[in-house]
Structure 1
Amino acid sequence: MDRKKILLLSTGGTIASVVSEDGLVPKQSGEDLIQLLGDMPYEIDVKDILQLDSSNIQPEEWQIIAENIYKYRNDYDGIVLSHGTDTMAYTASMLSFMIQDLNLPVVLTGSQVPINVMWSDAPDNLRLAFAAASRCKPGVYLAFNRKVMLGCRSVKVRTINFNAFESVNVPPIATVTSDGLVFNKNLSYIPRSNLACKLNTKINTNVSLVKLFPGFDTKLLFALADSGCKGIVIEAYGLGGMTNIRRNMVAAVGDLIKQGIPVIASSQCLYERSDLTKYEVGRRALLEGAISARDMTSESAITKLMWGIGQGMDIRQITKFFDTNIVGEVTLD
């Protein structure tokens, strides 16, 4: 049997870091990572496209990463992207929208400890990522700590534990057990198409992610609008409730929507969904035009909003866009 041909795109992160006087700094190349893994049952090519701590991965870097994936998509059976953990979920979500209808699996991974440290989790994560890149269906995934997750459903939930990422509101794509890499048989939440792969990196970063708290001053929302903000994701309470007395968030949301600024209502709760229809405090926001994020992660909601506004969508189109399951990022039923 021919060995699968896999491309490693290296971008830096903890996985490639070394100790310096200023703390951990990404210095190791993709080839360094592969050499520390030993023999692998794949034909592997390596390209170093960035060398950054993921705190410095921004929209400009997303574009570079997406362009490289698109460029090499027909030359390999799969692509592994090594990346710092802190913004990996944002990158995975944005890549899901920037490169739709992928014709191969793209698997992001990283580590909590640099690969040259004895107790590093990097070797296991990389081996898992290569296995996923050789066996998963086309799409964007995140492989970490013996779990393969859909990229747009992944969230970093721990800062130092090796079990740093969770698949939120859907089960992992696959897990590692004593039987090997075992795939979930029910992946019906991921849309599939036979359309040609499309690259579209146009986004608008003039958006904001706001967490509601008791005493939040609605004037801050209007300050965002006055400074050029084109869309807002609000992490509201519980099922999506917002204050409607004194500091009236619901009225503020209505005023922003009248100005043409879409407002997405998500939940501060990591698991389960927002549902603006259940309580009065949610229904009022819905009547004002708030758009429910349902069970999307905040990372997925904000990147989807950036991408939608980048396409020139107005509020009506953004509403329809958020009512559509593009890459498995939202449960509509």
Structure 2
Amino acid sequence: MKKILLIATGGTIASAIGAEGLAPAVTANKLLEYVEDVKSYCQIDSVQLLNIDSTNMKPEYWIKIAKHIEEKYNKYDGFVITHGTDTMAFTAAALSYMIQNLDKPVVITGAQKPISAKETDGIKNLIDAIKFSCEDVGGVFVVFDRKVILGTRATKLRTRSYNAFESINYPYIAFIEDGNIKYNKLDIIKKSEDGPKFIITMCSNVFLLKLIPGLEPQILDYIKDKYEGLIIESYGSGGIPFEDEKNMLPKLKELVDKGIAVVVTTQVILEGSDLSLYEVGQKALKTPVIPAFDMTREAAVVKLMWALGQSKELKRVKEIFLTPIKDDFIY
């Protein structure tokens, strides 16, 4: 019988109505009372590591979760993390980078409605997550609405529907139907034989800038003085405005010359970016900026934080960022 550790961090799944609306209240032990049947196929312990709305998630908490998994790694066959949906994809990406070469599953789940609600999806999601945590696979995964998503490829697309998450620019790993797991992609989740590698570090001093028509280039002066990394969400295939008084390229070069890592991704969720395609992108590449290709926004933000946590030297940061990890980008 597999031995699983449930790590509770709060979120909607553990929320109850309070004086100012929904807030985390249900403990880890109480969550398990809703899924008693899982004890027929696994032994499960629990720990209340955090108890927050995931809006309050921060890199320091990602480090806390990763360190707890490292501490307990040899005592359990799998891990389930209950988490709020709003920043779940960020946490999944963070753990994918900080914990590599896994020979067991780390599964993140949550709910769109509290587990105590009449029409909750929390019970189903938690049972599915525990079920998948007993599989002989390795990696970080989001399990939600009967789907298994690679940790570097999850994005929340819906605020209320039960099918909140999608796998972006990548196949689903598996589907769970009536307790049966039907695999769709196996090669990326084979158990590592090299043993886990924990690279637990983060630099939170990163800014995400979303381009809008008419944005003043002077915003980059503020960023230059405050941040060590910048992710620009550009349009379409990717590019930076360069005409007239809205030309952002000179200010962008000032950032790079100062040693600030600049990553360019796209606001378009599907199919990724290609800065080599248009003039606006090729000019940006000469700055030079770091392309994010088909990475999710969440993965790009977190990977830059993780890279800067390891080095402040721009060449090394670019090297870390452009090294594919768990298929976080493929084109």
Structure 2 length normalisation: TM-score? Answer: 0.95
The aligned residue for residue 81 of structure 2 is: 81
Among 9, 12, 22, the alignment partner of 1:11 is 9
Q: What letter matches 2:26 in structure 1?
A: Q
Give the superposition deviation at 1:37: 1.6
What residue ranges of structure 2 are gaps of 5+ in the alignment?
none
The aligned residue for residue 214 of structure 1 is: 213
Q: Is the 8 A contact 1:173 1:187 kept in 2?
A: no
2:26 corresponds to 1:28: yes
Q: Name the stretch that deviates more: 244-253 or 285-294.
A: 244-253
Q: Is the 8 A contact 1:191 1:328 kept in 2?
A: no
Return closer, same or farther for 1:9/1:135 CA change in 2, 3 Å cut-off.
same
Q: Is the 8 A contact 2:128 2:179 kept in 1?
A: no
Q: Is the 8 A contact 2:10 2:53 kept in 1?
A: yes
What residue ranges of structure 1 are gaps of 5+ in the alignment?
none
Q: Which portions of structure 1, spanning 4 or more consecutive aligned residues, are displaced by more than 6 angstroms? A: none
Q: What letter matches 1:185 in structure 2?
A: K
* 2:286 counterpart SS class: helix
The aligned residue for residue 290 of structure 2 is: 291
Return closer, same or farther for 1:192/1:236 CA change in 2, 3 Å cut-off.
farther
Report Cα offsets for 1:119-153 as digits up to 9, x if no partner. Answer: 00001100110111111521111000010101111
Provide the C-alpha distance between the structure 2 equivalents of 1:90 and 1:245, rounded to a whole number of angstroms. Answer: 34
The aligned residue for residue 325 of structure 2 is: 326
Q: Name the stretch that deviates more: 175-184 or 118-127.
A: 175-184
Within 5 Å, give how 1:89-128 maps onto structure 2.
Answer: 89-128=89-128
* 2:108 counterpart SS class: strand
Q: What letter matches 2:28 in structure 1?
A: G
Provide the C-alpha distance between the structure 1 equivalents of 2:138 and 2:192, rounded to a whole number of angstroms. Answer: 10
Structure 1 length normalisation: TM-score? Answer: 0.94
Give the superposition deviation at 1:98: 1.5
Q: Is the 8 A contact 2:260 2:314 kept in 1?
A: yes
Provide the C-alpha distance between the structure 2 equivalents of 1:301 and 1:164, rounded to a whole number of angstroms. Answer: 20
Q: Is the 8 A contact 2:103 2:192 kept in 1?
A: no
Provide the C-alpha distance between the structure 2 equivalents of 1:182 and 1:12, rounded to a whole number of angstroms. Answer: 29
Provide the C-alpha distance between the structure 1 equivalents of 2:136 and 2:312, rounded to a whole number of angstroms. Answer: 32
Within 5 Å, give how 1:193-208 maps onto structure 2.
Answer: 193-208=192-207
Q: Is the 8 A contact 1:191 1:325 kept in 2?
A: no
Q: Is the 8 A contact 1:8 1:82 kept in 2?
A: yes
Q: Is the 8 A contact 2:13 2:111 kept in 1?
A: yes
Q: Is the 8 A contact 2:231 2:265 kept in 1?
A: yes
Provide the C-alpha distance between the structure 2 equivalents of 1:141 and 1:182, rounded to a whole number of angstroms. Answer: 15
The aligned residue for residue 173 of structure 2 is: 173
Provide the C-alpha distance between the structure 1 equivalents of 2:286 and 2:190, rounded to a whole number of angstroms. Answer: 30
Among 231, 234, 237, the alignment partner of 2:232 is 234
Provide the C-alpha distance between the structure 2 equivalents of 1:238 and 1:320, rounded to a whole number of angstroms. Answer: 25
2:243 corresponds to 1:245: yes
Q: How well do the aligned residues superpose, as a CA RMSD in angstroms?
A: 1.6
Give the superposition deviation at 1:322: 2.4
Give the superposition deviation at 1:110: 0.3
Equivalenced residue count is 328
Report Cα offsets for 1:31-50 as digits up to 9, x if no partner. Answer: 11111123112111111111
Return closer, same or farther for 1:319/1:139 CA change in 2, 3 Å cut-off.
same
Within 5 Å, give how 1:143-154 maps onto structure 2.
Answer: 143-154=143-154
* 1:170 counterpart SS class: coil
Return closer, same or farther for 1:12/1:321 CA change in 2, 3 Å cut-off.
same
Give the superposition deviation at 1:218: 1.1
Give the superposition deviation at 1:53: 0.9
Return closer, same or farther for 1:136/1:149 CA change in 2, 3 Å cut-off.
farther
Provide the C-alpha distance between the structure 2 equivalents of 1:328 and 1:128, rounded to a whole number of angstroms. Answer: 24
The sequence identity of aligned pairs, in percent, is 41
The aligned residue for residue 161 of structure 1 is: 161
* 1:141 counterpart SS class: strand
The aligned residue for residue 68 of structure 1 is: 68
